[in-house]
C-alpha cells in the first residue's frame, strides 16, 4: 500500500497517465469478471467504499486486516469484496509495480460496480494515499441503520456532505442485501414494545418475517427490483417498505422527505445526482473529513470543468466560444445547482441557490421540461 504519510498532492485525472495508462481498464475488467460470477458483489463493493471513506477518509484503511483494525469491528463483519480488491491489486502490480494506491483501486471499483449494476458512470481523479492507521474504535460513528435522521445528517456533515448527499447515497440501497440481524428488532420487538415497528407496511412485514426467521439470513434492501439500479427504493419508501429504520425515516422527516419524493419521480435526476454525491464521497481524504474541492476540478457532462478557488465557484467551459463567460458566485452557506451554457452542453444556464427541503422540491415541481442538475456544491 502507498503510504498516506507522504506529502499529499492534489487529486488529478492525469496521475497515472505516464505510469499506468490502462489502470481503469484493468480495474473494470477485473470487477466485471467478479460481478459476472457473483452479482451481489456489486453492491458490496459500493458499501465497502462507503465504510472506508466514513473513517479517516478514503484511504483504504478498511482493507488492513489485523487485530483491532476497522475491518475487525462489529460494524464491518458483513462487509464483502476484499478478495476483489486483492485480485485487482495483484494484477496492477504485474503491470505497474508500486504505482496505484489501494485507495484509488477501491474508489474506482465502487464506480465500476455501480455501472455494472446498471447505474451511472462518473469520472474519478486519482492520487489518494493509502492509510496505515486502522482502528476499530473509530468505526463507532458509522451508520448501522438504527440512527435518527438528525444523527445521520450530523454524521454526513462531519464528512463534508449535506442532506441531499444523505438521501441520494441512501439510494444505493436500490441494490444489495442486509443481514436479517439488522432488521429483526423492527419485526418483533420495536423499541421494547414486543410488537413490530408500526410504520412497516403489513404485507411487507409478513414478507420480512418469512425471509428473516434467522438472524444469519440475508434479505434484499429493495424487495421489488432487487438487482436493478433504479428509483424503486424511493417508491418503496412511499409504501412504507423501507427495510432499515434509517431508510423509512427518510420519508417521514421534513428535511429529507421532499428530496426522497423528488428522486422517486425522475430516474435521470437520481442517476446524475448519485454520480455527484459519489464524487464528493470519494474526495474525503483525511481524518478531519474535509473535502479538498478548493484545489481540484470536477468534470461534469461532456466538457465542463468546475473549479473552486477561495470562496468563489467558477464554472469554466474550456471548449466554449468566447461568448460563454465564467459563472462566479459566492457559495458560503449556499448549496447551488448549476447548469452550464447550452453552447457547451446543450443545457441552459440555471443557477439555483440556497436550496433545501421544500425550496428544492418547489423548484423541481415547477420545471416544465427540465434537465437534471449536473453539480451540487455545499
Annotated binding site: 52, 55, 57, 59, 61, 70, 143, 173-174, 222, 225, 230
Asked whether 376 and 164 are in contact (CB, 8 A), the reply is yes
In whole angstroms, what is the distance from residue 54 CA to residue 166 CA?
13
Is 51 considered catalytic here? yes
Asked whether 229 and 114 are in contact (CB, 8 A), the reply is yes
* Catalytic member of 49, 51, 66, 369: 51
Asked whether 303 and 73 are in contact (CB, 8 A), the reply is no
In whole angstroms, what is the distance from residue 317 CA to residue 315 CA?
7
Q: Which residues are annotated as a binding site for heme b?
A: 173
81: left (phi over 0), alpha (psi -120 to 50) or beta: left
Q: Which residues are annotated as a binding site for Ca(2+)?
A: 52, 55, 57, 59, 61, 70, 174, 222, 225, 230
Q: Which residues are annotated as a binding site for substrate?
A: 143
The owner of cell 449556499 is 334
Using CA atoms of 121, 123, 126, 131 in order, give the dihedral in degrees to the nearest 10: -40
Strands (E), the chain: 177-179, 218-220, 297-300, 304-309, 312-316, 327-330, 336-337, 376-377
For the annotated catalytic residues, the residue numbers are 51
Amino acid at each position: 500500500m502507498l503510504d498516506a504519510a507522504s506529502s499529499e498532492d492534489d487529486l488529478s485525472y492525469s496521475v497515472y497517465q505516464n505510469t499506468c495508462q490502462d489502470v481503469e481498464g484493468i480495474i473494470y475488467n477485473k470487477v466485471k469478471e467478479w460481478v459476472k460470477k457473483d452479482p451481489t458483489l456489486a453492491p458490496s463493493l459500493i458499501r465497502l467504499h462507503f465504510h472506508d471513506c466514513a473513517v479517516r477518509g478514503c484511504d483504504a484503511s478498511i482493507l488492513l486486516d489485523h487485530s483491532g483494525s476497522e475491518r475487525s469491528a462489529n460494524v464491518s463483519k458483513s462487509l464483502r469484496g476484499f478478495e476483489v480488491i486483492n485480485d485487482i491489486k495483484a494484477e496492477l502490480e504485474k503491470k505497474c509495480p508500486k504505482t496505484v494506491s489501494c485507495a484509488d483501486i477501491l474508489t474506482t471499483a465502487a464506480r465500476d460496480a455501480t455501472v455494472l449494476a446498471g447505474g451511472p458512470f462518473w469520472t474519478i481523479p486519482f492520487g489518494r494515499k493509502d492509510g496505515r492507521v486502522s482502528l476499530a474504535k473509530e468505526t463507532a460513528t458509522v451508520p448501522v441503520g438504527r440512527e435518527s435522521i438528525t444523527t445521520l445528517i450530523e454524521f454526513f456533515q462531519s464528512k463534508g456532505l449535506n442532506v441531499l448527499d444523505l438521501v441520494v447515497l441512501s439510494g444505493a440501497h436500490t441494490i444489495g442485501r442486509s443481514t436479517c440481524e439488522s432488521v429483526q428488532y423492527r419485526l418483533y420487538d420495536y423499541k421494547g414494545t414486543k410488537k413490530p415497528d408500526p410504520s412497516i407496511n403489513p404485507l411487507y412485514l409478513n414478507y420480512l418475517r418469512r425471509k428473516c426467521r434467522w438472524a444469519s439470513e440475508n434479505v434484499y434492501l429493495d424487495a421489488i427490483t432487487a438487482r436493478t439500479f433504479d428509483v424503486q427504493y424511493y417508491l418503496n419508501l412511499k409504501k412504507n417498505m423501507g427495510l432499515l429504520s434509517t431508510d423509512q425515516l427518510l420519508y417521514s422527516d421534513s428535511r429529507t422527505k421532499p428530496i426522497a419524493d423528488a428522486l422517486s419521480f425522475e430516474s435521470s435526476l437520481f442517476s446524475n445526482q448519485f454520480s455527484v454525491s459519489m464524487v464528493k464521497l470519494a474526495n474525503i481524504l483525511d481524518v478531519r473529513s474535509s473535502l479538498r474541492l478548493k484545489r481540484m476540478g470536477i468534470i461534469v457532462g461532456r466538457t465542463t470543468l468546475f473549479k473552486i478557488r477561495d470562496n468563489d465557484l467558477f464554472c469554466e467551459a474550456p471548449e466554449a466560444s468566447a461568448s460563454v463567460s465564467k459563472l462566479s458566485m459566492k457559495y458560503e452557506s449556499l448549496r447551488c445547482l448549476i447548469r452550464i451554457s447550452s453552447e457547451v452542453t446543450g443545457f441552459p444556464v440555471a443557477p439555483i441557490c440556497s436550496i433545501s427541503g421544500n425550496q428544492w422540491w418547489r423548484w423541481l415541481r415547477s420545471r416544465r421540461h427540465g434537465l437534471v442538475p449536473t453539480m451540487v456544491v455545499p
